[in-house]
Amino acid sequence: MTEGNFVDYVKAFVSSGNGGKGSVHLHREKYITKGGPDGGDGGRGGHVIIRGNSNLWTLVTYKFKKHFKAGHGEHGSKNRSTGADGEDVYMDVPLGTVVRDGDTNEILFEITENGEEKIVAEGGMGGRGNWHFKTSTNQTPRYAQPGIPGQEHNIVLELKVLADVGLVGFPNAGKSTLLSVMTSAKPKIADYEFTTLKPNLGIVEYRDFQSFVMADIPGIIEGAAEGKGLGYYFLRHIERNSSLLFLIPADSKDISKEYEILLDELRRYNPELIDKQRIVAISKSDMLDDELQEMMRIELDKDLNVPYLFISSVAQKGIQELKDLLWKQLNE
């Protein structure tokens, strides 16, 4: 999937159908002189329905089409005939989509299962025909109910990527390279900051034909929780990851400090993210000799309170050990 086709935030206007009017009709038939009221009910207006679709990965469908209008219910007619219901409109979205009220920003619901349906704009009820209103003292009512108008809403669709493992790190930490080595994904890789502008997903093949999903999130910088860089915009994708893999390059000035900065940004964005399982991978470790690596281990054992290991995507060093550690953590 190209970056331009990955759309994870869209605004839309939805409008449900009006209910049909009830009928005012008096029965007329040969040899039946006083048939009485027989006006039928109006049909229900069409709903606008959000539906989960596991085959979708992006909201690109709604990048250009912004208005969705359901059909109106038909009016009732004679012989107590009910009008047809208005046509429902379905909006298929990827799993992990959060639907918000566009005016208040309130979360209305979220879609997490394939085929799950939620009504975002309910169609108006059809009006009742005049046969409902006949009584012993009012045997020929000449009135019926009008249909109830439909609803109109501004909504926001916000996709939060569903992945087992989320890659967290500063720009140029090697996240895209690691994703390309561990999966069949082909993210854009270049030697400058913010190469990754959109999250990338890949399926990691494990032993015995098992697999898990890994997501490369655009680089986080210090101050991301306040909106600096790209981090704030994409931090929401980390909320859905089961486990977080912090990637810190071996040539970093202070690995423990970088880890704490990243952790603090997550904490300030959403404190619940700190409860997720975490692993630290020291990337680009092919630049280290055994002696230097052992010295770093001594420091990391004192400063880090989470599992860590040294890897190199280019040299394929520690990749299988990383898969084993992630798999074990995901299945605990």
CA distance 47 to 37: 30
Per-residue pLDDT tens listing for the chain (332 residues): 444 456 778 999 999 999 999 999 888 877 777 778 999 999 999 999 999 998 888 888 898 899 999 999 999 998 889 999 999 999 999 888 999 999 999 999 999 899 999 999 999 999 999 989 998 888 889 899 999 999 999 999 988 776 788 888 887 777 778 888 887 655 444 443 444 445 677 778 888 878 888 877 776 655 544 454 454 556 666 777 788 889 888 888 888 888 888 888 788 878 888 888 888 988 888 888 888 888 888 888 888 888 889 988 888 888 899 889 889 888 87
Residue 16 is assigned to a ligand binding site: no
86 annotated to bind ligand: no
Ligand-binding annotation for 284, yes or no, is: yes
174 assigned to a ligand binding site: yes
Q: What is the Cα–Cα distance from 316 to 314, expressed in whole angstroms?
A: 6
Sorted by sequence, the CB contacts under 8 Å of residue 72 that are 6+ apart come out as 17, 18, 19, 20, 45, 46, 86, 147, 150
Token pair, residue 37, equals 């009221």
Say whether 219 counts as a known binding-site residue: yes
Q: Is 76 annotated as a binding residue?
A: no
Cα–Cα separations (whole angstroms), residue 312 to 165, 204, 274, 317? 18, 17, 26, 5
Instruction: Kindly provide the b/e burial profile for residues 76-99, where b requires at least 16 CB atoms within 10 angstroms of the residue's own CB.
Output: bbbebbbbbbbebbebebbbbbbb
Find out whether 281 is annotated in a ligand binding site: no
175 is in an annotated binding site: yes
**Cα 80–82–87 angle (5° rounding)?**
175
Sheet hosting strand 89-93, strand order edge to edge: 89-93, 48-52, 117-121
| 88 contacts 14 by C-beta, under 8 angstroms | no
- pLDDT score of 114: 93
Question: Binding residue per annotation — 243?
Answer: no
Distance from C-alpha of 291 to C-alpha of 310, rounded to nearest angstrom:
13
Tell me if 156 is assigned to a ligand binding site: no
Ligand-binding site membership of 112 (annotated): no
**What type of residue is 292?**
L
197 is an annotated ligand-binding site residue: yes
Consult the annotation and say whether 217 binds a ligand: yes
* Residue 81: predicted pLDDT: 92
Known binding residue 23? Answer is no
Does residue 209 have a known ligand-binding role? Answer: no
CB 222: neighbour CB atoms within 10 A? 15
266 is in an annotated binding site: no
Q: Is 249 annotated as a binding residue?
A: no
DSSP string of 123-139?
PPPPPPPGGGG--SS-S
- 141 known ligand binder: no
83 is in an annotated binding site: no
**Residue 136 assigned ligand-binding role:** no
Alpha helices in the chain (DSSP H): 175-182, 231-234, 255-269, 290-303, 319-330
105 exposure class (CB count in 10 Å sphere: 0-12, 13-18, 19+): exposed
SS3 203: strand
